[in-house]
Copies of this chain bind each other. A is one copy, B any other.
Amino acid sequence: MDQVAEAAGVSRATVSRVINGAPSVDAKIREMVQRAIADTGYVPNVAARSLVTRRSNSVALVISEPDRPDNNSFLNRIFTDPYFGRITAGATSALRPHDIHLVVIPTDSTDHHQVVRYLRQGHVDGVLLISSHEQDTLPRQVHDLGIPAVVAARPTAPIAVSYVDVDQRLGAQLAAEHLLDRGCRTLATISGPLDIPSGLDRLNGYRDYLTRRGFSSVPSIEGDFTRAGGESAARELLAAHPAIDGLFVANDLMAEGALRTLQDLGRRVPDDIAVVGFDDSSAALDCRPLLTTVRQPVEEMAAEMAEVLMAHIASPGRLPRSVTFQPSLVIRESA
């Protein structure tokens, strides 16, 4: 920096000002400094800058999952999950124009401690937190830290924190409506885990709507949001209720598994039984027949999370707020 200042014949303060785009710099001087920067190939040291600005220009994406025995497969599951992939893509696209980088931190309760320490050390200016399971203590810990944070989906505990969500109940209702419209009369559902809000909300949204439409009972079975789980849940459900002709599956991955089971069972989709998924992830296009599903605009939601987080970082006093996206039905072949 001294070199640049000398080359341009100004002080380091002025060099700093042109680098940071201070409006007060004389145009000619600005130009000279810029030339000097180009000539010397000078690049500011970010650590020194962070030390005084108290900004790191990066944020953490913390993905908090329930504990599982095998840690290796834990990382694997996270990094190959299409939902998390879409979140990462959406957040990256919103952050990039602001030159803010993303540090991805997968965690389960065994290393909450390390994550909290990382956040406290000032590595990042804020955190995007994905936490779905009910017992997770991380949202509260992050909240208590006082670091700017935005959570994906409504937190299970009532914490004063900003979050972004999709209208889960409405999505489930869209699925029910469509199944009814195409003439299905015996409806059922494979739900997500019922200890997380999205699992519960989709089940309740589906049931409540059908109740209003005169259904007295709607068979359901709890799934785990995995393909394999969808396969076995469908098998069990169909065994207990062979007459089902319309099925809402709470995410696309499970729907893909269910479709496989139906094929094995010789049920034609959608003729014998119509199937609607949830997410509109890439898995929906991997299904045969192509999956009709409730679209959740995950990328846009993640981008919004990033925007809200940047707003919190810029104005620390900002009150928490939630933004809810509308789901939409994407009709393809399965229903």
A-side interface residues toward B, CB under 8 Å?
A: 43-48, 50-51, 56, 58, 71-72, 75-76, 78-82, 84-86, 88-90, 92-93, 96, 99, 101-106, 111, 114, 117-118, 120-123, 227, 260, 282, 286, 288, 299
With A227-B286, A288-B260 as known contacts, state yes or no: A122 contacts B299, CB within 8 Å.
no
Q: When the two chains form their complex, are residues B93 and A85 in contact, meaning their CB atoms are under 8 A apart?
A: no
Distance, CA A40 to CA B75, complexed state (A): 34
Distance, CA A205 to CA B41, complexed state (A): 45
Q: When the two chains form their complex, are residues B75 and A92 in contact, meaning their CB atoms are under 8 A apart?
A: yes
Inter-chain contacts of A99 with B (CB < 8 A): 114
Q: When the two chains form their complex, are residues B80 and A93 in contact, meaning their CB atoms are under 8 A apart?
A: no
Which listed residue (B44, B89, B104) contacts A88, Cβ 8 A?
Answer: B104
Inter-chain contacts of A117 with B (CB < 8 A): 43
Distance, CA A95 to CA B106, complexed state (A): 13
Q: When the two chains form their complex, are residues A282 and B80 in contact, meaning their CB atoms are under 8 A apart?
A: yes
Q: Which of A75, A81, A99 has the most CB of B within 10 A?
A: A75
With A58-B103, A282-B80, A286-B286 as known contacts, state yes or no: A72 contacts B93, CB within 8 Å.
yes
Q: When the two chains form their complex, are residues B80 and A101 in contact, meaning their CB atoms are under 8 A apart?
A: no
Q: What's the minimum C-beta distance from A186 to chain B, rounded to whole angstroms?
A: 28
- 22 contacts across the A-B interface (CB closer than 8 A): A43-B122, A46-B122, A47-B48, A47-B50, A48-B51, A50-B50, A58-B103, A58-B123, A72-B299, A75-B89, A75-B92, A76-B299, A78-B89, A79-B86, A79-B88, A85-B85, A101-B103, A101-B118, A103-B103, A104-B104, A260-B288, A286-B286
Inter-chain contacts of A122 with B (CB < 8 A): 43, 45-47
Q: What's the minimum C-beta distance from A254 to chain B, rounded to whole angstroms?
A: 13
Q: What's the minimum C-beta distance from A40 to chain B, rounded to whole angstroms?
A: 13
Nearest opposing residue in chain B for A81, CB measure: B85
Nearest opposing residue in chain B for A88, CB measure: B79
Q: When the two chains form their complex, are residues A47 and B43 in contact, meaning their CB atoms are under 8 A apart?
A: no
Nearest opposing residue in chain B for A282, CB measure: B80
Q: When the two chains form their complex, are residues B93 and A101 in contact, meaning their CB atoms are under 8 A apart?
A: no
Q: When the two chains form their complex, are residues B93 and A86 in contact, meaning their CB atoms are under 8 A apart?
A: no
Distance, CA A88 to CA B286, complexed state (A): 23
Nearest opposing residue in chain B for A54, CB measure: B47
Q: What's the minimum C-beta distance from A251 to chain B, rounded to whole angstroms?
A: 15
Inter-chain contacts of A45 with B (CB < 8 A): 51, 121-122
Q: What's the minimum C-beta distance from A95 to chain B, rounded to whole angstroms?
A: 11
Distance, CA A120 to CA B43, complexed state (A): 7
Inter-chain contacts of A102 with B (CB < 8 A): 103-104
Q: When the two chains form their complex, are residues B85 and A80 in contact, meaning their CB atoms are under 8 A apart?
A: yes
Which listed residue (B44, B89, B92, B123) contacts A101, Cβ 8 A?
Answer: B123
Inter-chain contacts of A71 with B (CB < 8 A): 93
Inter-chain contacts of A286 with B (CB < 8 A): 227, 286
Inter-chain contacts of A46 with B (CB < 8 A): 121-123
Q: What's the minimum C-beta distance from A99 to chain B, rounded to whole angstroms?
A: 8
Inter-chain contacts of A227 with B (CB < 8 A): 286
